[in-house]
């Protein structure tokens, strides 16, 4: 029996790298959705809703080709003082975000959703991240690398940003953008067993 086909509902290179890291072959079909926060929507439910919408949209798109495809959606947000920090609009907004995060802790929420057939399951990982203090000159130098500009909260923990993180409590890979342990558990919920680089369809055994 052929293993289930995996489709990543994201163009994020970090998420693609992480799926490759754990040996899950996949194709990419980005989901273009409205990511506006709903009135009164809390951070974790917001991230989970977006992950579910991405997975559902792409699952509908690929259903005609493969109704049993595994569609993986994810959303990562950075939250400080109850405010959601998205991707910076420009260098000035990146600098404002980094000044706000420097020398203190914030929370990263990464939601993961898996759609397969008529099933859609999801969950959220919360990770506490602490930055060391940074002077304005150092913030400017980090922004000049270009790394902060396409990332929530204006930093990437897997790049130069690793040098400004003092401590994390939780799933490191969730901070990168895809909570791998959570993903494996969700795969099981839709009838797929992950076994160290291999996917096995357990619902049709």
In which element (H, E) is residue 194 found?
strand 192-194
Q: Would you state the structure tokens that stand for residue 158, as one six-digit string?
A: 């897997």
DSSP 162: G
Residues 124/109, Cβ–Cβ less than 8 Å = yes
The catalytically annotated residue of 75, 128, 171, 189 is: 75
Instruction: Tell me how far apart the alpha carbons of residues 2 and 196 are, in angstroms, rounded to a whole number.
Output: 17
For residue 76, give every residue at least 6 positions away whose Cβ sits within 8 Å of its Cβ, in sequence order, or none: 47, 108, 109, 110, 111, 152, 174, 175, 177
CA 86 to chain centre: 12
What does residue 106 show for φ and ψ, rounded to 5 degrees?
-145, 175
Q: For residue 81, indicate whether it is catalytic.
A: no
Annotated catalytic sites, by residue? Answer: 75
């Amino acid at each position: 029996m052929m293993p289930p086909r995996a489709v990543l509902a994201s163009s994020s290179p970090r998420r693609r790298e992480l799926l490759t890291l754990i040996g899950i072959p996949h194709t990419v079909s980005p989901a273009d959705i409205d990511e506006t926060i709903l009135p009164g929507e809390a951070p974790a439910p917001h991230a989970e809703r977006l992950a579910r919408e991405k997975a559902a949209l792409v699952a509908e798109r690929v259903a005609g080709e493969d109704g049993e495809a595994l569609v993986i959606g994810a959303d990562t947000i950075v939250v400080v003082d109850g405010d959601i920090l998205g991707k910076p609009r420009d260098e000035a907004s990146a600098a404002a975000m980094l000044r706000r995060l420097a020398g203190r802790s914030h929370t990263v929420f990464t939601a993961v959703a898996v759609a397969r057939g008529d099933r859609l399951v999801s969950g959220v990982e919360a990770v506490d991240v602490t930055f060391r203090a940074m002077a304005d000159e150092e913030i400017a130098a980090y922004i000049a690398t270009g790394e902060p500009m396409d990332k929530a909260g204006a930093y990437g923990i897997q790049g130069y940003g690793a040098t400004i993180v003092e401590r994390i409590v939780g799933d490191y890979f969730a901070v990168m953008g895809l909570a791998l342990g959570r993903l494996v558990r969700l795969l099981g919920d839709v009838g797929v067993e992950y076994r160290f680089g291999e996917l096995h369809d357990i619902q049709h055994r």
